[in-house]
Amino acid sequence: MIALDFKKGDGLVTAVVQDANTKQVLMVAYLNEEAWQKTNETGETWFWSRSRQELWHKGETSGNTQQVQSIAVDCDEDCLLINVIPAGPACHTGHTSCFYRDKEGVELNG
């Protein structure tokens, strides 16, 4: 079992979510201990919303869930790389990835 340090970063760990097949980075989100437990229990991603201050199940309203394939932890035990099979776009804008613009704000392909 992965040991995570929830004492750093206001009780949150950062998660980079990546498509398990394409290796495209889909999003960056945060997990608290409850989100970590639910992700492990359900096999789907759960996060802590810093803006809404609540737990959320990715895809709960959109249907764009993320089936966890693997989870790696960094050397400091405060960041995760979560490989998923997405059931739809990761971004609330409808884009496959939240990273669809370059630094000038121009939309990238995909």
Which structure tokens are listed for 6?
Answer: 């929830």
Choosing among 3.40.1410.10, 3.10.20.810, 3.40.1110.10, 2.60.40.10, the CATH entry for 9-86 is 3.10.20.810
pTM, to two decimals: 0.90
Residue 90: closest CA among 106, 73, 67, 71: 67
Amino acid at 12: L
Q: Write the pLDDT tens digit of every residue in 44-97.
A: 999 999 999 999 999 999 999 999 999 999 988 889 999 999 999 999 999 999
> Where along the chain do its domains lie?
9-86
DSSP 24: -
Q: Is the pLDDT of residue 1 over 80?
A: no
